[in-house]
Amino acid sequence: MKLLQVAKPADYREPCMIHCRSSHAEICSSVLACVLGGTLAWPKHIEEGSNGPTQTKGLRMLGERLAGKAIIVVGSGTGIGAATSRRLAEEGAKVCLADINLPAAENVAEEIRSKGGEAFATLVDLADEALVKSAFDKAAEQFGKLDGAHINGADMATLVKDTDILDEPMAVFDRTMQVNLRGHVLCTRAVLPYLIANGGGGLVYTSSGAAHAGEPVRPAYAIAKSGLMALMRHVASAWGKSGVTANCVAPGLTITESMKERNGTKSDFQVAMLEKTPSVRLGRPEDIAGVVAMLLSEDGRWINGQSYNVDGGVIMI
């Protein structure tokens, strides 16, 4: 099967990935020639011929690089985790969606199933060690193995109380550490035995640009996100020889659906952030999902112990 990447207009979010069973160069040329006027039209002989592109209903199939992979996404009911779950399923993975908001995770899982993917949801609370272990055990039992994990959970409710190191209540600091750092340690302890037993696999943690940038506020959040990078490097160095890779994505300001509902798409804060961003727009959950999918695929097997700033160029290192 050959994979063609066809350039599409700038308003498309993703490149069009076309699977051709035929090896004939004229088919490839015909597809490219049909990208005209901002539209993509299939040549008639490709639409109707037996050697045409693989037709899939429902899920937008972006490739097969995750086909057969079993992956758990922690914090998957909304935002980045939901977008990542969809992207992994689109690339062929079986996905366990774990979230403290179980109805939200179930909705995303049902959406994936309705489009032909394989997914189920389970409850997790990063502050509860037993629930964390149970979520990973259920995923491994359901799929018969685990090939990877995206650990994306955080307690965002404490963020508004995360003021500065002098005024911040220690209860806020402790809660942030409990969920945003200790919870990720619990997830790591739960998933590593499965990855090692499987002969290897990928771990991706969601860190933040706050781990790199000094700020007068959010000290607990930044400390926790910095800690994730240390945890990631520990896992990469300790179990790389067992086939395990560990990496971080560090998103910049990412406009999720809940943010749109609360603030619209052009709040003063978003306008101010865009002015500081060397890009034409702010982030979308799908931007981070694409990087996670790469890191959990075979394309990311020789990437280990790294942090990727997915922020439109706000932090350049």
pLDDT of residue 24: 36
pLDDT of residue 53: 38
pLDDT of residue 268: 79
Check whether residue 155 and residue 218 sit in a common domain.
yes
pLDDT of residue 62: 63
Residues designated catalytic: 221
Number of folded domains that form the chain:
2
Per the domain annotation, does 286 fall within a domain?
Answer: yes
pLDDT of residue 55: 40
135 close to 122: Cβ distance less than 8 angstroms? yes
62-72 confidence digits (pLDDT tens):
678 999 999 99
Check whether residue 12 and residue 94 sit in a common domain.
no
pLDDT of residue 267: 77
pLDDT of residue 317: 83
Check whether residue 23 and residue 89 sit in a common domain.
no
Q: Which residues in the chain land under pLDDT 70? A: 1-62, 258-266
Q: How far apart are CA 273 and CA 266, in angstroms?
A: 10
Check whether residue 31 and residue 87 sit in a common domain.
no
Give the domain extent around 76: 70-310
Within a 10 A sphere around the Cβ of 110, how many other Cβ atoms? 14
Per the domain annotation, does 165 fall within a domain?
Answer: yes
CA angle 156, 162, 163 (to 5 degrees): 150
266-278 confidence digits (pLDDT tens):
677 788 878 888 8
Check whether residue 170 and residue 27 sit in a common domain.
no
16-26 confidence digits (pLDDT tens):
333 333 333 33
75 close to 149: Cβ distance less than 8 angstroms? no
Check whether residue 27 and residue 104 sit in a common domain.
no
Check whether residue 170 and residue 296 sit in a common domain.
yes
pLDDT of residue 264: 64
Per the domain annotation, does 299 fall within a domain?
Answer: yes
